[in-house]
Structure 1
Amino acid sequence: MSTTTVTPLTTDDAEVLIAAARRAAEAAEATVSITVLDAGGHLLAFRRDDRSVLIAGETSTRKAYTALQLNAATADLVDLVKPDGPFHSLTTALDRPLLFIAGGLPIHRDGTLIGAIGVGGGAPEQDHSFATTALRALPR
């Protein structure tokens, strides 16, 4: 039996993600915060634009954490936690709050979850787009 080791998300990877998301946000004239977490939920990189609202730092981190914990894009989870959704109580079920607003994406390598990115500060659709752009820049 052979086992394949998947390379974990590195700080170099995190810097690539931050730079790509930042370029996408700048092109859209949006000021954002960007958070990258490793597979254990530990902070690898964080950047907040000088003019970004302070809460964007918290939202980017919670979006990344939510994407990591549920292994799903936060944009795909929004309807599930609405008052009539099947997981409506999930928003308050844990000690560390989850955030169900578009902008958080899990990061996979060779089919394995290795981390997550969260972007906050723009409109939710923009944040999702910036995070998606960042993932495309990550070498596989």
Structure 2
Amino acid sequence: LTQCETKGYKISTTVVDLSGQVLAQLRSDGAGIHTLESSRKKAFTAMSMKQPSGNLMKVIADNPIMQPLQYMNENLLFLAGGIPIQLNGNVIGGIG
């Protein structure tokens, strides 16, 4: 959050656990109201798919047959900005 703010971006960031539950959520003053939910969904997507949400965005863009993936679960958001959190090679959560 601080790094983005120093570059002039007003954002939200969310950390989820392995079950997709929010552990922490921060929002910059003046960040758009949509940023809380989109950061949560990016974190959920990265955690549940075990890869950065930007990778999945590219897969869907490059392979139209894969587009239905984005409708599998209402918590998924295939936009860049979500990263899985790993410990000892195991995904334990996500951050968006």
* TM beyond 0.5: yes
Alpha-carbon contact 1:91-1:97 (below 8 Å) kept: no
TM-score (ref. length: structure 2): 0.91
Q: What is the aligned counterpart of 1:87 among 53, 61, 66?
A: 66
Cα distance in 2 for partners of 1:112, 1:83 equals 28
Task: Please say which structure displays the higher CA radius of gyration.
Answer: 1
RMSD: 1.4
**Match of residue 85 from structure 2:** 107
Superposition pairs of residues 1-140 of structure 1, within 5 angstroms: 22-82=1-61, 84-94=63-73, 96-118=74-96
Cα distance in 2 for partners of 1:40, 1:64 equals 11
Q: State the 1:85 CA deviation.
A: 3.0
Deviation readout 1:73-130 (Å, 9 max, x if unpaired): 0111112223843421011122x23111110000001101111000xxxxxxxxxxxx
Q: Which amino acid aligns with 1:33?
A: S
| Seq. identity, % | 32
Q: Which amino acid aligns with 2:23?
A: L
Q: State the 1:49 CA deviation.
A: 1.2
Gaps of 5+ in 2: none
TM-score (ref. length: structure 1): 0.64
Gaps of 5+ in 1: 1-21, 119-140
Q: State the 1:27 CA deviation.
A: 1.6
**Match of residue 124 from structure 1:** none
Cα distance in 2 for partners of 1:29, 1:46 equals 19
